[in-house]
C-alpha cells in the first residue's frame, strides 16, 4: 500500500452511473476504486499512448500512401518501358484516361517548365 504522504486527497463528485462503472472496473482490475481512478486519470494524460482510433487512422493513411506510391511506381515503370519503344505519348494518354487528375498535374507542371524556359 502506498504512503499517505505521497498523495493528495481530492474530493470528487461523479454521477451515480459513473460511480458504478468505477466500482465495476476496480473490481474487474483487482484494485481499489481510488487506484482505478488514478490509473484512468494517469492514462488520460499519457500522450505517448495512442487510442485505437488514432492507430487505425494512421494505419489507413499509411496504407493509402503505400497504395498511391505503388500506383506511381507502376505508372513510371510503364512509362520507361514505353520510352524504349518510342510510345510514351500513347502510354501517357492511357494513364491520363485512367487517372484524369494526373493529366491536370502533368499539364500544370508542363506549363510551369515552359514559363521558365
Structure confidence by residue, pLDDT tens digits, 1-52 = 566 678 888 898 999 999 999 999 999 999 999 999 999 998 888 766 667 7
Residue 84 sits in the same domain as residue 30 = no
Range of the structural domain that residue 27 is part of? 16-45
Classify residue 3: in a domain, yes or no: no
Which residues have C-beta within 8 Å of that of residue 104, sequence separation ≥ 6? Answer: none
Residue 56 sits in the same domain as residue 96 = yes
pLDDT band at residue 114 under the 50/70/90 scheme: low
Record the cell numbers describing residue 104, joined without a space. Answer: 491536370
Dist CA 80 CA 97 (whole Å): 18
Q: How many domains, in total, are found in the chain?
A: 2
Residue 24 sits in the same domain as residue 65 = no
Residue 69 sits in the same domain as residue 106 = yes
More confident site: 93 or 111: 93
User: Checking phi first, is residue 30 left (phi over 0); if not, alpha (psi -120 to 50) or beta?
Assistant: left
pTM of the predicted model as reported, rounded to 2 decimal places: 0.45
Cβ atoms of residues 96 and 102 within 8 Å = yes
Classify residue 4: in a domain, yes or no: no
Amino acid at each position: 500500500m502506498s504512503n499517505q504522504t505521497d498523495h493528495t486527497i481530492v474530493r470528487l463528485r461523479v454521477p451515480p452511473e459513473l460511480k458504478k462503472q468505477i466500482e465495476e472496473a476496480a473490481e474487474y482490475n483487482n484494485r481499489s476504486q481510488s487506484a482505478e481512478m488514478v490509473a484512468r486519470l494517469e492514462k488520460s494524460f499519457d500522450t505517448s499512448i495512442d487510442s485505437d482510433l488514432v492507430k487505425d487512422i494512421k494505419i489507413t493513411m499509411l496504407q493509402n500512401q503505400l497504395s498511391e506510391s505503388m500506383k506511381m511506381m507502376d505508372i513510371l515503370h510503364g512509362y520507361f518501358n514505353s520510352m524504349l519503344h518510342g510510345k510514351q505519348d500513347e502510354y501517357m494518354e492511357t494513364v491520363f484516361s485512367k487517372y484524369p487528375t494526373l493529366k491536370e498535374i502533368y499539364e500544370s507542371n508542363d506549363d510551369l517548365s515552359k514559363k521558365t524556359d
